[in-house]
Chain A
Amino acid sequence: MTSHPIDTIRNFSIVAHIDHGKSTLADRLIQQTGTLTAREMTEQVLDNMDIEKERGITIKAQTVRLEYRAQDGKDYVLNLMDTPGHVDFAYEVSRSLAACEGSLLVVDASQGVEAQTLANVYQALDANHEIVPVLNKIDLPAAEPDRVKEQIEEVIGLDASDAVPISAKTGIGIDLVLEAIVQRLPPPKGDETAPLKALLVDSWYDAYLGVVVLVRIVDGVLKKGMTIKMMGTGAVYGVDKVGVFRPKMTDVARLGPGEVGFLTGSIKEVADTAVGDTITEDKKPTAAMLPGFKPVQPVVFCGLFPVDAADFEDLRAAMGRLRLNDASFSYEMETSAALGFGFRCGFLGLLHLEIIQERLEREFNLDLISTAPSVVYHLNMRDGTIKELHNPADMPDVMKIETIEEPWIRATILTPDEYLGGILKLCQDRRGVQIDLNYVGKRAMVIYDLPLNEVVFDFYDRLKSISKGYASFDYAVTDYREGDLVKMSILVNAEPVDALSMLVHRDRAESRGRAMCEKLKDLIPRHLFQIPVQAAIGGKIIARETIRALSKDVTAKCYGGDATRKRKLLEKQKEGKKRMRQFGRVEIPQEAFIAALKMDS
């Protein structure tokens, strides 16, 4: 006996392109159903990480249970999952979708369909979701709900005649959304009497509770005190707590079929809670496992090193902790001649990289240096073996390599017509191959195949600047293709800086090398001596710049006996030097590493 008859449960995800208003809609649904009081509400209340609040984006999918009395007089349990919009966090979306039967597809009525609108809706359709289109931001003067409806029908092929026009900001139409959820989305199915079968949707580390596991019950009942088994990893645990998110964690006695909630036990090992695993009762297991999730493949790699070598163990501990909260990044130990001990980390994209680095620095109080982002290359060796290269610094002797293959992506770009020319040129410059070009209303939609190597290198920033922020972009890795790739080294004062070496296409090497040298020339502060900065392939110098020696750096007047003021300045300078890396006699500020890779060609 579930407290909630299964036909009064609705599980849904909110999906959309970045900034189309998912989290704001979640706010209104939480508010309108009285889940939180006005006093407890904040803007984008589900975005609870500092970094989410500051950047105004969702990084982590969030779950909240709403109770709603519908117009039919019945009480419903709605389980909402707010998802991130950025392509780097697509994995969060796919897991949320697996726990639901339906989706609200939010489209900003002033912007229309964007690249991630498409990507997310296709994912939702793939998950057999019922989809309710929601046209948001109709309060904006620029909103064109009718045109956007047409777009949805034309581009996605979804019936938009019943799309719900709303303003998540002002609250218009929220009641209609609630009714649409109840009436148009299907209830979950499940057998309460069957053995427990639950999907491990997500897991993270909580300072008070230890590992918290987000589950979706498919069959059977999950209760406190039960002994459960993770079928994939074989781990067995006693269940300490069972509960739901309102959005605060609230204990319940049991979770029945179709319900979404959490469990805790004395789970120590992260590895035991693999997302996508099937949870069952240890002594009464279910027969078949759920299909689980496609494992995520990190696509961008970089080295992360502590600024202060003494922080290495702290960094290791922090990596472990963070990985508990984000299974989509991976790490392994690495040593660098220049940077000492650190980790080679894999990410789903550049924003993911940036966010993880920032979280490590902020949540764990670490100062980090990151190396150039790189992709995974496949090296076909002369001896017939195949090697994976995650780090350009590990490149073997070129004489032993037959061919090198690099990952390619298929990119979908939507843009207002006037920026199309610039974008095509950008794609062409980045060795892109045009696959398709057509129009979605007034917007052009181009599909390009591109080497990922060219995309991790500030492609997104360039795209945004060319289109003044109006183009949207989505991609998926498709395959590996052979490329004429060479390792380019950067030498500062004749010393190679391993952290800056990279694999580049031979045709692009010179321009990249020149750009890198120019950039470093501005980023490396002048020293007491002149410093050559060179790019080289093998022994051949392909670009060179010179950082001139300092000409003037002296405090003209000394404040009488006030040595304190000068000493404070010196102490700051000394502190600054600690954040520098020593390469031979040259000190390179860590910001230079990061900035050097954000190149405006």
Chain B
Amino acid sequence: MIRHPTQDAGFGVYVHWPFCQSKCPYCDFNSHVRTGGIDEERYLDAFRREIAHAGDMAPGRTVTSIFLGGGTPSLMRPQTTAGLLEAIATSWTIARGAEITLEANPTSVEAERFRGYRAAGVNRVSMGIQALNDGDLRRLGRLHSVAEALAAVDVARRHFPRYSFDLIYARPDQTPAAWKAELERAIGEAADHLSLYQLTIEPGTWFERLHAAGKLAIPDPELSRILYDVTQEVCDRAGLPAYEISNHARPGAESRHNLLYWRYGEYAGVGPGAHGRIMSARGRTATATERSPEDWLARVERHGHGLVEQTVLTREEAGDEFLLMGLRLREGIEPSRYRTISGRMLDHERIQDLLGYGMIAHRAGSRIAVTPAGFPVLDSVVADLAA
């Protein structure tokens, strides 16, 4: 088998579970509410077929990480999770000590299943706590309270060797002082990993409509910058520096699966609306599946897979993706790898300019990384380098 340099970063499997208890007003993930319930067994069968198909597309790999994301995977029965992991083990070899993460919503019902997930093989759980303030949780449309969420964290702590949780900040009316206090409390509850996302108004969401109607005020760029800076300060002091724009960990406790994305490694994506990047003889192939759960199910049952896109990326596209993903990491990128992927060099003059503005810096060896000053304006830095 040919060895591709990108495979050195590992091989991951992303499984998308597209169902949620209710739709949060800020969320534009591929998540769907099915009040009538779903036929979990039938979905599991479809997942099995699609995982087998993915195994044929990328044969012989060793899986270093698995991510069960959503939607809300913690709505599935633990035996479904077990079934999914077995299917993956059938298609590929799962490396010893592979990271297996499940995304969970911190309601009491879901916490009750944590033990089952652990038994199925999950060794890391990532919970969407979102806020430690009941008013804000309600405004975010969450179904859990702070107390319930913290109880779920307790359960996670007992059952999983590793856990993490997400918070959304830069919420309407949030002051830097309030956020600082909330974050410090969160760190007290955290183990060694935290995801801290600034609230983004996404197209097509309820929040977008409110925002457009002037009924939802989010922090302006200046305040949002201050909130970002507070986040870095507090986390740095607590020994949880950002290893990626919105992800913080004690060194060594980074999410391996997410690192795989950012290091532009190889991964298969299965389930409705999942994306993958698979190496083939023709180059890096972007895959995407049908988003609607029912249509995906029908496709898989008919064709054995739900793929609606399989595009071999051009070198320029792959180069863009490499920069987009890699520059999100504190460790930055290896310019020679950019050259291998895109077939061209980074523009020397632009690099000099960005170094001059203090937006990027050289790291160990010949690596280039965005500086703390550059991260808050990362999108512009990337656009500059990619242009």
Seen from chain A, the residues whose Cβ lies within 8 Å of a Cβ on chain B are: 527-529, 550-564, 566-567, 570-571, 573-574, 577, 585
Question: Which residue of chain A is the closest to B219 with respect to CB atoms?
Answer: A552
How far is A553 from B373 in the complex, measured between Cα atoms in Å?
12
B225 at the interface (CB under 8 A from A): yes
How far is A573 from B14 in the complex, measured between Cα atoms in Å?
29
Residues of B near A573 (CB, < 8 A) are 379, 383
Q: Assuming the A-B contacts A550-B377, A570-B324, are A563 and B277 also in contact, with contact meaning beta carbons closer than 8 angstroms in the complex?
A: yes
Residues of A near B50 (CB, < 8 A) are none
Does A554 lie within 8 Å of B320, measured CB to CB?
no
Does B221 lie within 8 Å of A562, measured CB to CB?
no
How far is A573 from B382 in the complex, measured between Cα atoms in Å?
10
Q: Assuming the A-B contacts A560-B69, A561-B274, are A571 and B320 also in contact, with contact meaning beta carbons closer than 8 angstroms in the complex?
A: yes
Residues of A near B325 (CB, < 8 A) are 558, 563
Does A556 lie within 8 Å of B324, measured CB to CB?
no
Residues of B near A552 (CB, < 8 A) are 221-222, 224-225, 228, 376-377
Most chain B CB neighbours (cut-off 10 Å) among A553, A558, A561: A561
Does A570 lie within 8 Å of B14, measured CB to CB?
no
Q: Assuming the A-B contacts A551-B376, A563-B261, A574-B386, are A556 and B198 also in contact, with contact meaning beta carbons closer than 8 angstroms in the complex?
A: yes
How far is A390 from B22 in the complex, measured between Cα atoms in Å?
66
Seen from chain B, the residues whose Cβ lies within 8 Å of a Cβ on chain A are: 14, 29, 67, 69, 197-200, 221-222, 224-225, 228, 244-246, 261-262, 267, 269, 274-277, 286, 288, 317, 320-321, 324-325, 328, 353-354, 357, 359, 375-384, 386-387
Does A551 lie within 8 Å of B377, measured CB to CB?
yes
Q: Which of B225, B246, B261 contacts A560 (CB 8 A)?
A: B261
Does A561 lie within 8 Å of B383, measured CB to CB?
no
Question: Which residue of chain B is the closest to A557 with respect to CB atoms?
Answer: B197
How far is A550 from B198 in the complex, measured between Cα atoms in Å?
17
Does A561 lie within 8 Å of B376, measured CB to CB?
no
Question: Which residue of chain A is the closest to B353 with respect to CB atoms?
Answer: A585
Does A558 lie within 8 Å of B386, measured CB to CB?
no
- Closest 7 CB pairs between A and B? A556-B198, A552-B221, A551-B225, A554-B378, A562-B275, A563-B321, A561-B275
Residues of A near B14 (CB, < 8 A) are 560-561
Q: Assuming the A-B contacts A552-B228, A563-B321, A570-B382, are A528 and B359 also in contact, with contact meaning beta carbons closer than 8 angstroms in the complex?
A: yes
Does B328 lie within 8 Å of A567, measured CB to CB?
no
Does B200 lie within 8 Å of A560, measured CB to CB?
no
Does B245 lie within 8 Å of A556, measured CB to CB?
yes
How far is A377 from B204 in the complex, measured between Cα atoms in Å?
54
Does A577 lie within 8 Å of B383, measured CB to CB?
yes
Does A564 lie within 8 Å of B377, measured CB to CB?
no
Does A563 lie within 8 Å of B324, measured CB to CB?
yes
Does A550 lie within 8 Å of B200, measured CB to CB?
no
Q: Assuming the A-B contacts A551-B222, A571-B320, are A561 and B261 also in contact, with contact meaning beta carbons closer than 8 angstroms in the complex?
A: yes
Residues of A near B275 (CB, < 8 A) are 559-564
Residues of B near A560 (CB, < 8 A) are 14, 67, 69, 261, 275
Least Cβ distance of A565 to chain B in Å? 9
Does B324 lie within 8 Å of A566, measured CB to CB?
yes
How far is A69 from B359 in the complex, measured between Cα atoms in Å?
81
A550-B377, A557-B246, A561-B275 given; name 12 further pairs at CB < 8 Å: A554-B245, A557-B200, A558-B245, A558-B325, A566-B321, A567-B317, A570-B320, A570-B382, A573-B379, A573-B383, A574-B386, A577-B383
Residues of A near B262 (CB, < 8 A) are 558
Does B200 lie within 8 Å of A556, measured CB to CB?
yes
9 inter-chain pairs at a CB distance below 8 angstroms, sorted by A residue, are: A528-B354, A550-B221, A553-B379, A555-B200, A555-B379, A556-B198, A558-B261, A570-B386, A574-B387
How far is A567 from B379 in the complex, measured between Cα atoms in Å?
11
How far is A571 from B380 in the complex, measured between Cα atoms in Å?
13
Question: Which residue of chain A is the closest to B170 with respect to CB atoms?
Answer: A556
Residues of A near B199 (CB, < 8 A) are 556
Least Cβ distance of A556 to chain B in Å? 4
Least Cβ distance of A493 to chain B in Å? 12
Question: Which residue of chain A is the closest to B349 with respect to CB atoms?
Answer: A585
Q: Which of A527, A553, A557, A567 contacts B320 (CB 8 A)?
A: A567
Residues of B near A585 (CB, < 8 A) are 353
Question: Which residue of chain A is the closest to B350 with respect to CB atoms?
Answer: A585
Does A528 lie within 8 Å of B200, measured CB to CB?
no
Residues of A near B274 (CB, < 8 A) are 561
Does A567 lie within 8 Å of B197, measured CB to CB?
no
Least Cβ distance of B298 to chain A in Å? 23
Least Cβ distance of A217 to chain B in Å? 61
Residues of B near A562 (CB, < 8 A) are 275, 288
How far is A553 from B383 in the complex, measured between Cα atoms in Å?
11
Does A558 lie within 8 Å of B328, measured CB to CB?
yes
How far is A558 from B245 in the complex, measured between Cα atoms in Å?
9
Question: Which residue of chain B is the closest to A578 with respect to CB atoms?
Answer: B387
Does B377 lie within 8 Å of A528, measured CB to CB?
yes
How far is A555 from B354 in the complex, measured between Cα atoms in Å?
19
How far is A52 from B324 in the complex, measured between Cα atoms in Å?
45
Question: Which residue of chain A is the closest to B379 with respect to CB atoms?
Answer: A553
Question: Which residue of chain B is the closest to A565 with respect to CB atoms?
Answer: B275
Least Cβ distance of B322 to chain A in Å? 9
Residues of A near B224 (CB, < 8 A) are 551-552
Least Cβ distance of A579 to chain B in Å? 12
Residues of A near B384 (CB, < 8 A) are 528
Question: Which residue of chain B is the closest to A561 with respect to CB atoms?
Answer: B275
Residues of B near A557 (CB, < 8 A) are 197, 200, 246
Least Cβ distance of A104 to chain B in Å? 49
